[in-house]
Amino acid sequence: MEPEEIDDHLTSGYWQIEPERPKTRRACAAVLARLPEEIADRIIYSHEVLLFAPGGSLGQCLPYSLYGQMIPKQMNVVVNGSPQSHSYEMPHFKFCLVYLAEELEKEEYPVIVAVVAHEVAHGILREVFGDECERQADLQIIEWGFEAELQALRDANPHHRY
């Protein structure tokens, strides 16, 4: 992934990182640069993982435009007393939203990198609930080369489970 592509992505709104979060921004850019090309493409060009790192504002609205795959659907209706079935198609959007708490900015840089990579792994794997998903996300970031950062996260946060 080229640095310009990453810069563009970080100003596109699909990964929204507020100016109060320079360390988080640097960590997000580093994670995108270190991810396998295919994964970074899925994030930057297919918007499979959106990311929001809010700053000090009390509320915020972010507009997104996403491509959805058309999925066949069935609708049952009653017309003049007789049930009928109609087929139609609806766009289906599948993506994950990663949220990075403001407190993360206070952590050591490698910890921030590990948290970003771990949450992105959840989004790519589409596995977000339960202990097994936590284990899977950590295994994924080790495979991506974030083992040292994961160790820093485990040292800093004893509640990080695996």
Nearer to Zn ion, 88 or 162 (CB): 162
Size of the site for Zn ion (CB under 5 A): 1
Residues 126-145 as x/- pattern, contact with Zn ion by CB under 5 A: --------x-----------
> Rounded to whole angstroms, how far apart are CA atoms 141 and 86?
45
Residues 74-113 as x/- pattern, contact with Zn ion by CB under 5 A: ----------------------------------------
Residue 131 CB, shortest distance to Zn ion, in Å, is 10
Nearer to Zn ion, 6 or 137 (CB): 137
Q: Which residue is nearest to Zn ion (CB)?
A: 134
User: Would you tell me which residues interact with Zn ion (CB under 5 A)?
Assistant: 134
